[in-house]
A and B are shown apart, each in its own frame.
Chain A
Amino acid sequence: MKYMDEFRDPALAQRLVREIRSLVRAPVRIMEICGGHTAVIFKYGIHKMVPPEIEYIHGPGCPVCVSPREKVDLAIQLAWQDDVIFTTFADMIRVPGSRSSLAREQARGADVRMVYSSLDALEIARRNPHRPVVFFAIGFETTAPTNAMAVLLAREQGLTNFSIVSNHVTVPPAIRAILDAPEVRLDAFIAPGHVSLVTGSRIYRFIAEEYGKPVVISGFEPLDLLQATAMVLRQQREGRATVENQYRRAVSEMGNLKAQAAVDTVFETSDMTWRGLGMIPGSGLKVRPAFAAHDAERRFALQPPAPSRDPKACECGDILRGLKAPWDCRVFGTACTPEKPLGACMVSSEGACAAYYHYGRHWPATG
């Protein structure tokens, strides 16, 4: 496939693996922040191609995984409001809340629909003018611009039946929270390419400048990740800590200013609770009061859902902070499986537990 196979060339991969081998001196713990990277590492077996000194620690970059359970409870409440068509991404539908999941409520008759984009939800609103259509927005800086656009378009086109719930979270405050936690030991970061496409590479400067850790922004093809790993090692070896950009074909220093402006128009910064990380000040995006008509949380009379703790046995929290690997969790693969997930890390294809379970659960020793 053009523009795809070039990034999956096995000969180039072997050359990069040799380079990595020559650069690595001591054990190194690299956190790949993004769940998309985690999935690629496992899908292509990258963790088994690199020398054993390199340990990839899977960060909190899976939007479904970091949504606390009460968000699912809120979603279920919304799905049962009069006549509502409730739309969201597929993974979200299977995540367990404190008592049920959207999939179960769908089976009981709630009109829950899976979409690939908020713009598809907008189209559903256009085709069903007499029914309220709610889009449950999750994601990082990556999906926020499209969802902001959906709100702007709804206003422009008079689609008064369309509203969203914003559960958007932003990457830098979460990374800072992880770096400030005393128990976490990380040597370097591989930063998410798609987020950076929107925000620009500048948002990671604090990691290098304040914490002295190398950062490399990486694309999502397997060769990208191998190259990013080599770049991290080279910084380490040369005693540098800077933000480097492996994903030059897409990411710039300043990012996509138009997308940033759309986000800024519709959303404002808010405090947000993360699964596993707790409340992080300024880590969320909520709909600005000027767009209250398209803010589902303001439109519908909802009971604020009670904070809900994860089941005791679930260790998603420690896994999301890189303190534990999925196989360290007592219920991994036994009480918690993709068909009966206790924690969200097992649901989303970007979740570390799901990736281990699908692609590598029988090889913890060499993982």
Chain B
Amino acid sequence: MEQHNHRPDGKEVLLAHGSGGRSMHQLVDGLIVPALANPLLDRMEDQATLEINGLRLGFTTDSFVVDPIFFPGGDIGALAVNGTVNDLAMGGARPLYLSLSFILEEGLALAELERILASIRAAAAISGVQIVTGDTKVVHRGSADKVFINTAGVGLMTDGTRISAAGAQVGDRILLSGSLGDHGMAIMSRREGFEFEAAIESDTAGLWPLVDAMLAAAPGAVHAMRDPTRGGLASCLNEIAQRSGVGMRLQEAAIPVHEPVRGACEMLGLDPLYVANEGKLMAVVQPEHAERVLAAVRTHPLGREAQLVGTVVEDTRHLVVMETAFGGSRIVDLLAGDPLPRIC
């Protein structure tokens, strides 16, 4: 697969540059990272690992601009906590402290802000993190859309873990913690222009308890891990395949997708592999420990539907190929852009 380290095309930023697909890789890898290059940043994980006086800390940040701000199963506040908690957890870091910054559009109802704060407090309590610093800015109407949130997080790296997108090895099994597409389709069902009635709720959740159980079940067996948010499972797998220099083979029949999500995806012509999740993880696990790690994930309510969905293979082209449930096969590629703007 081609590298993305050239400058993005065109003169201006387009929505596609924020989609989680190939265009976003071009913007990040071709413009942002080269401008700021340093050894910690260049590793391009979901979190940086800082070694300070013998202590290994995970450090990460994320911004949230979801529209609508309230949606079935959650709101922008819960997302802002869980998103950053999960970015820490994916590196094997126990989340400890968060910062919280608001950019508020004038005119936002105080009652809505209170609702968001209550949701932030609840999500933080569930994940056992404290919000210890923050900032608030207000901008003119139209300069932001209701509320934007940035969070940053610090966590403590679990001893003995070396989890990295470059860590997948031939023979490893691919674990998925649950069904795909719930968050993206919940948002979609509430967007102006194509509201539809469906029993779909966002899966937003903090994933540290799952990760904790996995790492305890088989220390060192998790080689790579990501939460498939923007760009979905397809983008995570492609990134890991590329960074690790391997290929992936998926079994479509093993990938759980809830019925209402499948129905909505059919209706809108979307592929659940590319739809965002906010409470799922995929892990690349050493084969001899895969069943044990799977069993550990399944003991937790967030991982009850977990499955082993594929295998890491040797492939100089670094392709992700899926055997379809129908009996054929196809490439699962990175998308150029994403048909669902602003979902997290």
Measuring CB to CB, which residues of chain A are less than 8 angstroms from any residue of chain B? Answer: 1, 4, 8, 10, 13-14, 42-46, 48-49, 90, 94, 103-104, 106-108, 113-117, 120, 123-124, 222, 337-340, 349, 357-362
Q: Can you identify 21 A-B contacts, CB atoms within 8 angstroms?
A: A1-B259, A13-B327, A42-B330, A43-B324, A45-B326, A45-B330, A48-B329, A49-B328, A94-B16, A94-B337, A103-B14, A103-B15, A104-B14, A107-B13, A115-B193, A120-B193, A339-B16, A340-B9, A358-B333, A359-B331, A360-B330
Given contacts A107-B12, A360-B330, 5 further A-B contacts (CB under 8 A): A94-B337, A107-B15, A338-B337, A339-B337, A358-B333
Check: B40 CB closer than 8 A to any chain A CB. no
User: 1/0 contact trace for B261-274 toward A, CB 8 Å?
Assistant: 01100101100000
Contacts of A104 in B (CB 8 A): 10, 12, 14
Beta-carbon contact of B22 and A338 below 8 Å = yes
Which partner residue on chain B sits nearest A339 by CB separation? B336
Contacts of B333 in A (CB 8 A): 357-359
Q: Which of B21, B326, B336, B339 contacts A222 (CB 8 A)?
A: B326
Contacts of A362 in B (CB 8 A): 317, 319, 331
Beta-carbon contact of B193 and A116 below 8 Å = yes
- Measured in the bound complex, the distance between the Cα atoms of B319 and A13 in whole Å is 26
B247 CB to nearest A CB, Å: 11
- Contacts A116-B193, A116-B194, A339-B22; A10 near B325 (Cβ below 8 A): yes
Chain A binding surface, main DSSP class: helix
A343 CB to nearest B CB, Å: 14
Measuring CB to CB, which residues of chain B are less than 8 angstroms from any residue of chain A? Answer: 9-10, 12-16, 21-23, 26, 192-194, 259, 262-263, 266, 268-269, 317, 319, 324-331, 333, 335-337, 339
Which partner residue on chain B sits nearest A108 by CB separation? B12
- Measured in the bound complex, the distance between the Cα atoms of B262 and A44 in whole Å is 16
Contacts of A337 in B (CB 8 A): 22, 336
Which partner residue on chain B sits nearest A103 by CB separation? B14
Contacts of B269 in A (CB 8 A): 349
Which partner residue on chain B sits nearest A337 by CB separation? B336
Contacts of A117 in B (CB 8 A): 194
Contacts of A360 in B (CB 8 A): 330-331
Beta-carbon contact of A46 and B328 below 8 Å = yes
A227 CB to nearest B CB, Å: 13
- Measured in the bound complex, the distance between the Cα atoms of B336 and A103 in whole Å is 13
Q: Which of B22, B330, B335, B336 contacts A44 (CB 8 A)?
A: B330
Beta-carbon contact of B328 and A361 below 8 Å = no
Beta-carbon contact of B266 and A44 below 8 Å = no
Q: Which of A106, A120, A359 contacts B330 (CB 8 A)?
A: A359
Beta-carbon contact of B194 and A120 below 8 Å = yes
- Measured in the bound complex, the distance between the Cα atoms of B336 and A82 in whole Å is 32
Contacts of B16 in A (CB 8 A): 94, 103, 339
**Which one of A44, A104, A123, A222 has the greatest number of beta carbons of chain B within 10 Å?**
A44
Contacts of A349 in B (CB 8 A): 269
Contacts of B23 in A (CB 8 A): 339
- Measured in the bound complex, the distance between the Cα atoms of B259 and A140 in whole Å is 31
- Measured in the bound complex, the distance between the Cα atoms of B329 and A62 in whole Å is 23
Contacts of B13 in A (CB 8 A): 107
- Measured in the bound complex, the distance between the Cα atoms of B204 and A99 in whole Å is 42
Beta-carbon contact of B331 and A358 below 8 Å = yes
Contacts of A359 in B (CB 8 A): 330-331, 333
B199 CB to nearest A CB, Å: 14
Which partner residue on chain A sits nearest B333 by CB separation? A358
Q: Which of A45, A123, A340 contacts B324 (CB 8 A)?
A: A45
A214 CB to nearest B CB, Å: 24
Which partner residue on chain B sits nearest A226 by CB separation? B326
Contacts of B326 in A (CB 8 A): 8, 10, 13, 44-45, 222
Which partner residue on chain B sits nearest A11 by CB separation? B327
- Measured in the bound complex, the distance between the Cα atoms of B16 and A128 in whole Å is 27
A356 CB to nearest B CB, Å: 10
Contacts of B259 in A (CB 8 A): 1
Contacts of B10 in A (CB 8 A): 104
- Measured in the bound complex, the distance between the Cα atoms of B337 and A116 in whole Å is 17
- Measured in the bound complex, the distance between the Cα atoms of B259 and A43 in whole Å is 20
- Contacts A10-B326, A107-B14, A116-B268; A338 near B336 (Cβ below 8 A): yes
Beta-carbon contact of B268 and A49 below 8 Å = no
Beta-carbon contact of B330 and A43 below 8 Å = yes
- Measured in the bound complex, the distance between the Cα atoms of B259 and A90 in whole Å is 25
A65 CB to nearest B CB, Å: 16
- Measured in the bound complex, the distance between the Cα atoms of B329 and A108 in whole Å is 41
**Which one of B9, B26, B262, B329 has the greatest number of beta carbons of chain A within 10 Å?**
B329
Beta-carbon contact of B193 and A114 below 8 Å = yes
- Measured in the bound complex, the distance between the Cα atoms of B266 and A46 in whole Å is 19
Contacts of B192 in A (CB 8 A): 124
B65 CB to nearest A CB, Å: 16
- Measured in the bound complex, the distance between the Cα atoms of B331 and A298 in whole Å is 46
B28 CB to nearest A CB, Å: 14
Beta-carbon contact of B337 and A1 below 8 Å = no
A309 CB to nearest B CB, Å: 21
Contacts of A108 in B (CB 8 A): 12
Which partner residue on chain B sits nearest A361 by CB separation? B331
Beta-carbon contact of B9 and A124 below 8 Å = no
A316 CB to nearest B CB, Å: 17
Beta-carbon contact of A45 and B337 below 8 Å = no
Contacts of A116 in B (CB 8 A): 193-194, 268
Beta-carbon contact of A338 and B339 below 8 Å = no
Contacts of A338 in B (CB 8 A): 22, 335-337
Which partner residue on chain A sits nearest B12 by CB separation? A107
Which partner residue on chain A sits nearest B23 by CB separation? A339
- Measured in the bound complex, the distance between the Cα atoms of B234 and A358 in whole Å is 12
- Contacts A48-B329, A107-B15; A339 near B26 (Cβ below 8 A): yes
**Which one of B16, B26, B262, B324 has the greatest number of beta carbons of chain A within 10 Å?**
B324
B250 CB to nearest A CB, Å: 13
B190 CB to nearest A CB, Å: 14
B51 CB to nearest A CB, Å: 37
The 8 closest A-B CB pairs, nearest first, are A45-B328, A338-B336, A339-B336, A359-B330, A10-B327, A44-B326, A358-B333, A120-B193
